[in-house]
Amino acid sequence: MTRYIIRRLLLSIPVLLGVVILVFILARIIPGDPCRAALGERATDAICNAFNVRYGLDQPIPVQFLTYVGNVATGDLGDSIRFGRPVSQILVERLPVTLELTVYALIFAAVFGILLGRLSAIRRNSPIDVATMVVANLGVSIPVFVLGLFFAYLFAVVLKGTPLSLPPSGRLTPGVEVIPLAKAWGLTSLGGPPRVVLDFLSNVNTINAVLTLNGSLLVDTLRHMILPAVALGTIPMAIIARMTRSSLLDVLGLDYIRTARAKGVRERDVVAKHGMRNALLPVVTVIGLSLGGLLSGAVLTETIFNLAGIGRTITEAIQGRDYIIIQGVVIIVAIIYIVVNLVVDISYALLDPRIRLT
């Protein structure tokens, strides 16, 4: 097991290096001058020269690349050209928004996908099964931006004034206060990596609300998250439902299930204890793989629901030709993605003892 994990970790290194190279190349060949994008069209050549020296843009490309790889390896993602702040700081502020959104979307997708798929498989060919599969087929055919806008209209306009009305934009209602954890716990003097972790957790509103026992913040956060998370989670939910259904149907046709039934095990237990446990293996993989789709969808969802996460950060950075932010965000997202895939692979092996890892 340990050997497998080490081998997988080593195998991710060339992929990571490839990611860094690709991102670096893409960021360099974006048309347009970063200096004039940051300082405006009227910046003089002298100012631009100073600008290029400051950001190392006057160095030969290979030198820029090596400097960059060295910095990334030590956790320094550079300073944003437009905001003049470290990219890591921007990530600490904005990654929590995306994290919250994708985690809620994933929870929604996994819970409802598995429930629907299971229901569908148990009641095979019944009207419930047909209806569920129609929903699942629709789910994979709806673009997240159409569903998001539809939800925004439905819950903010049609249902306005009813208890079901939900806010269609932003992260919090104006006036709801977030107290940084560092301040709440009197740790403002804390510095270094622990402070970064603390600030990151503090910016995840759900965690902040739970840790500071702030009920109104929790309720407001959840109310703002429902629409984007459901919109974002619908496509993976549909995929998970289809996977659960076909996987459970496969498993329920196996001999050991017949044995269990012959022994007189209650049908409910046959499905729950014997069937689902084995049927969920491929579903775990699908859940892990859907993370890429969620991170892609987050770009659109954050745009529609006005959430300042990394999806919106990257579209803004592209418009402003802020190479440094683009590089930093894309690399961080790729690292998250690679790590999650690694975890999925390993958990797959842990769940299924038949898989022998070498």
Partner 1 sequence: MTLHAEPFSIEIADPLAGQKPVSLLRDTLRNILRQRSAIVGLTALAFLVLVAIFAGVIAPFDPTQPLLGIEENARPRLAPCIHLLGCPAGQPEHLMGLDGNARDVFSRVVFGSRVSLQIGFLTVGFAIILGTIIGSIAGFFGSRADNVLMRLMDVLLAFPALLLAIAIVTVLGPGLINAQLAIGIVAIPVYARVMRASVLSIRGQDFVAASQALGESSGGILMRRIVPNALTPLIVQGTLGIAGAIIDVAALSFLGLGAQPPLAEWGSMIGDERNAVFSAPHLVLVPGIAIIITCLSFNLLGDGLRDALDPRLNR
- Which residues are at the interface with partner 1 (CB under 8 A)? 14-16, 18-19, 22-23, 26, 29-31, 137-138, 140-146, 149-150, 152-153, 156-157, 168, 292-293, 295-297, 299-300, 303-304, 314-315, 318, 326, 330, 333-334, 337-338
Cβ nearer to partner 1, comparing 137 with 173: 137
Of 149 and 218, CB closest to partner 1 = 149
CA 280 to chain centre: 22
65 within 8 A of 196, measured Cβ to Cβ: no
Say which residues have a Cβ less than 8 Å from residue 328's Cβ, sequence separation at least 6: 77, 78, 87, 88, 90, 91
Strand partners, 79: 86
Q: Which is nearer to partner 1, 16 or 211 (CB)?
A: 16
Shortest CB 177 distance to partner 1, Å: 28
Give every CB contact of residue 336 below 8 A, 6+ residues apart in sequence: 295
State in angstroms the smallest separation of the CB of 13 from partner 1: 11
Least distance to partner 1, CB of residue 38, Å: 16
Distance CA 24, CA 327 (A): 7
Q: Cβ–Cβ contacts within 10 Å for residue 216, how many? A: 12
User: Measuring CA to CA, which residue among 293, 164, 165 is closest to residue 231?
Assistant: 293
- CB 17 to partner 1: min, Å: 9
Measured from the CB atom, the residue of 176 and 332 that comes closer to partner 1 is 332
DSSP secondary structure of 141-190? HS-HHHHHHHHHHIIIIITTTSTT----SSSS-TT-----HHHHTT-TT-
Distance of closest approach, residue 81 Cβ to partner 1, in angstroms: 15
In the complex, minimum distance from the CB of residue 345 to partner 1, in angstroms, rounded to a whole number: 13
Residue 6 class from Cβ within 10 Å (0-12 exposed, 13-18 middle, 19+ buried)?
exposed
Nearest distance from residue 263's CB to partner 1, in Å?
28
Closest distance of CB 46 from partner 1, Å: 28
For partner 1, the closer CB: 108 or 305: 305
Which is closer to partner 1, CB of 13 or CB of 210?
13
Identity of the residue, 49 or 126, whose beta carbon is nearer to partner 1 in the bound complex: 126
Pairwise CA distance, residues 266 & 111, whole Å: 24
32 or 191: CB nearest partner 1: 32
In this structure, what DSSP letter does residue 355 have? -
Could you tell me the maximum CA-CA distance found in the chain, to the nearest angstrom? 86
Return phi, psi of residue 170, to 5°. Answer: 85, 175
